[in-house]
Amino acid sequence: MVELQLRIGPKGQVVIPKFIREKLGIEPGGHVVVELRGSELVIRRGTNVTELLKWLEETRVPVASRVSRFSLEDETIEAIP
């Protein structure tokens, strides 16, 4: 575990050291999540929107392949088990 004491800037900003940003893949313009856990402040890597979209494209299954019958008249969908 790495533990560092960082200085808070005049606007309340904290700079995440370069070696940590590189290790976690945090790039300029990226996001982090800040969470308050009791008396601790936890900063973790946020979701990269580009990575999320790529994952969705790779893992999604078209609705047509999961539905055996769809009817607009009676508004029913029968899913393939």
Question: For residues 33 and 43, is the Cβ–Cβ distance under 8 A?
Answer: yes
pLDDT at 56: 82
pLDDT at 67: 55
Give the predicted TM-score (pTM) of the model: 0.56
| Tens of pLDDT, residues 2-60 | 889 999 999 999 999 999 999 998 988 888 999 999 999 999 998 877 777 888 888 87
Quickly list DSSP for 45-73: E---HHHHHHHHHHH---HHHHEEEEETT
pLDDT at 50: 79
Tell me which range, 41-45, 67-71, 72-76, is most confidently predicted by mean pLDDT: 41-45
